[in-house]
Amino acid sequence: MIGMKFEKLTVVANAERKNYRNRYLCKCHCGNDVTVEEVKLKSGHTKSCGCLQKERTSSAKKTHGKSGCKTIRIWYEMRARCRRKSHKQYPNYGGRGIVVCERWDKSFEAFLEDMGEAPDKMSIDRINNNGGYEPENCRWATKSEQGANTRASRVVLWEGDYISIEKYAKIIGKSRECAHYWAKKNGIISYKY
């Protein structure tokens, strides 16, 4: 057996028998020494000192290197709202037909490729609140941008387009409260559904 190779192991010497089984001192390709039973070498059960399994485990975990980052948490949460009936937000998302496109639902890497990393103080926002999570309908938005883009947001009809109260206030140079008053008085305010 001395000099024989079994996967990453080379037998270098006999070792003390144990439980009536022949054992051998082997040198692993990584440089470590390990004692292995003959039957485990011949059957292929033991292929290295343990480094081969560590390599496999390590490479399996390195799919995108983003576990624990903000972007992957947003991706998990987005999918949960649309798929998991027990999720507290399901009635407002999956329960009313909001879905995640197949490309994003199946792959975080695809989501990351399309959206990029989540910027600081921003989260995912659907431009059309009745549309699903898909590249054409999503953007990174601040809390205030999202607040102005909800189904129940009040909007103002201004020059043929619906805009948020906040934008209207900036246009007319008034506070939000004053802009709301003027829009209501002029009959140009409504809810965004």
Which DSSP string corresponds to 21-41? EEEEEEEETTS-EEEEEHHHH
Closest to 131 (Cα-Cα) out of 71, 82, 72, 190: 82
Closest to 96 (Cα-Cα) out of 118, 129, 72: 129
For the beta carbon of residue 190, count every other beta carbon within 10 angstroms: 13
Instruction: Give me the pLDDT at residue 188, please.
Output: 76
Instruction: Give me the pLDDT at residue 162, please.
Output: 73
CA 25 to chain centre: 45
Closest to 91 (Cα-Cα) out of 100, 101, 102, 82: 82
Instruction: Give me the pLDDT at residue 67, please.
Output: 56
> In angstroms, rounded to a whole number, what is the distance separating the alpha carbons of residues 86 and 81?
9
> Each residue's pLDDT tens digit in the chain (193 positions)?
899 999 999 999 999 999 899 999 999 999 999 999 999 999 999 999 988 887 776 554 555 555 568 999 999 999 999 999 999 999 989 999 999 999 999 999 999 999 999 999 999 999 888 899 999 999 998 887 776 666 556 677 788 877 777 788 888 898 878 887 888 888 776 655 4
Instruction: Give me the pLDDT at residue 65, please.
Output: 54
